[in-house]
């Protein structure tokens, strides 16, 4: 096929996953303590989580990249010889990045741009980007690549628990938060990313540890007998990741390996420190 240029948004946390591919990153900005930081380039995950845990008054917010920034990225790939550009974005239910990317697509000339709504966030965006590169290198067509990305998008599920619900509520990322507002400091709900790509509550739980245990239970129930790739994503919570890994592998030793991935500051600003996620994607 023609030369393909691949982009992801900063929410993928691709910076924390070693890989051999040329993948561009459209970065968001973290607004905190009266200062602005470009995600990863000026504020890495370890520094970010240390800052918000040591000073609770530092409530972070984010600002997405402009259409102009996205247009420049498309044009750069075009000028570097790409005939096709694929931009894999965070769920359009979580951010306006997809909409901005579509506006920039209408502005660019001389290259065909496909903007793909992943309907998720984090590692799965990376998996889609890596898959696209591998398929393009193998000579697969854009139609074939899109079908595979749609399979990944439509055959995954993520459950998660947050230590502090205020981050999701204040940043407007929890779709059905109304019932929790009066009790926001006490509830540690079981959450999921639903099929539309929205963050929704599944169950009300009173402690973070119980919520994490329920995340593990739901994951094990749902994946029984399925051929999957499982993964853990966390907001600088290596202890929680290790606990989850031990519990899952105790029940499913056949997995042998259960990788964990970080949430970058642009996502951590919305879920808060210590958030824990367990997810999976079906294998063919």
Find the CATH number of the domain harbouring 24. 3.40.50.10170
What does the pLDDT read at residue 7? Answer: 98
DSSP letters for 203-232:
E--SSHHHHHHHHHHHHHHHHTT--EEEEE
Collapse the DSSP code of 159 into the 3-class scheme (helix H, G, I; strand E, B; otherwise coil) and give the result. Answer: strand
pLDDT in tens, 196-228: 999 888 888 889 999 999 999 999 999 999 999
Whether residue 54 lies inside any domain: the answer is no
Residue 138 and residue 164: Cα distance in Å, rounded?
44
Q: Which helix (H) or strand (E) holds 30?
A: strand 29-32
Question: What share of residues in the chain are helix, strand, coil (percent, to 5)?
Answer: 40, 25, 35
Please enumerate in sequence order all residues whose Cβ is within 8 A of that of 103, keeping only pairs 6 or more positions apart, or say none: 67
Q: What is the CATH number of the domain that holds 189?
A: 3.30.1180.10
What does the pLDDT read at residue 26? Answer: 98
- Return the structure tokens found at 44: 């890495």
What does the pLDDT read at residue 179? Answer: 46
Residue 271 and residue 277: Cα distance in Å, rounded?
11
Q: Are residues 250 and 167 in the same domain?
A: yes
Residue 189: pLDDT over 70: yes
Residue 15: pLDDT over 60: yes
Q: Are residues 167 and 202 in the same domain?
A: yes
Collapse the DSSP code of 264 into the 3-class scheme (helix H, G, I; strand E, B; otherwise coil) and give the result. Answer: coil
Q: Which domain holds residue 225?
A: 156-282
Would you tell me how many other CB atoms lie within 10 Å of the CB of residue 137? 11
Residue 57 and residue 226: Cα distance in Å, rounded?
44
b (16+ CB within 10 A) / e for 258-270: bebbbbbbbbbbb
- Return the structure tokens found at 219: 């994951």
Q: Are residues 115 and 126 in the same domain?
A: yes
- Return the structure tokens found at 146: 């899109």
pLDDT range class, residue 178, cuts 50, 70, 90:
very low
The residue among 109, 139, 154 that closes a domain is: 154
Q: Are residues 118 and 243 in the same domain?
A: no
The answer to whether the beta carbons of residues 8 and 14 sit under 8 Å apart is: yes
Q: Are residues 18 and 137 in the same domain?
A: yes
pLDDT in tens, 95-142: 999 999 999 999 999 999 999 999 999 999 999 999 999 999 999 999
pTM, two decimals, is 0.93
Number of Cα atoms under 13 Å in the Cβ half of residue 218: 20
Residue 127 and residue 97: Cα distance in Å, rounded?
19
Q: Are residues 70 and 211 in the same domain?
A: no
- Return the structure tokens found at 120: 């998720």
Whether residue 42 lies inside any domain: the answer is no
Q: Are residues 140 and 173 in the same domain?
A: no
Q: Are residues 184 and 126 in the same domain?
A: no
Q: Are residues 259 and 122 in the same domain?
A: no
Would you tell me how many other CB atoms lie within 10 Å of the CB of residue 124? 25
Q: Are residues 164 and 104 in the same domain?
A: no
Whether residue 150 lies inside any domain: the answer is yes
Residue 89: pLDDT over 60: yes
How large is the average pLDDT for residues 175-188? Answer: 55
Q: How many domains does the chain have?
A: 2
């Amino acid at each position: 096929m023609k030369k393909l240029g691949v982009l992801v948004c900063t929410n993928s946390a691709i910076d924390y996953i070693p890989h051999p591919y040329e993948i561009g990153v459209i970065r968001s900005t973290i607004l905190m303590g009266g200062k602005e930081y470009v995600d990863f380039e000026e504020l890495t995950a370890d520094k970010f989580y240390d800052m918000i845990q040591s000073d609770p008054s530092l409530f972070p917010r984010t600002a997405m990249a402009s259409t102009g920034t996205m247009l420049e990225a498309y044009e750069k790939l075009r000028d570097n010889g790409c005939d096709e550009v694929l931009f894999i974005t965070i769920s359009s239910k979580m951010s306006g990045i997809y909409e901005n990317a579509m506006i920039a697509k209408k502005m660019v000339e001389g290259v065909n741009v496909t903007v793909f709504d992943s309907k998720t966030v984090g590692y799965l965006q990376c998996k889609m980007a890596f898959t696209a590169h591998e398929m393009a290198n193998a000579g697969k067509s854009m139609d074939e690549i899109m079908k595979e990305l749609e399979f990944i998008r439509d055959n995954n599920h993520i459950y998660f628990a947050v230590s502090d619900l205020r981050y999701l509520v204040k940043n407007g990322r929890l779709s059905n938060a109304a019932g929790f507002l009066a009790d926001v400091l006490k509830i540690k709900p079981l959450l999921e990313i639903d099929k539309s790509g929205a963050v929704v509550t599944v169950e009300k739980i009173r402690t973070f540890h119980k919520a994490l245990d329920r995340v593990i239970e739901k994951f094990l129930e749902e994946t029984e007998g399925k051929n999957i790739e499982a993964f853990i994503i966390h907001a600088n919570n290596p202890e929680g990741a290790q606990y989850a890994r031990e519990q899952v592998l105790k029940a499913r030793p056949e997995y042998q390996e259960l990788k964990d991935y970080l949430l970058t500051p642009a996502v951590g600003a919305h879920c808060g420190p210590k958030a824990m996620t367990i997810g999976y994607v079906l294998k063919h």
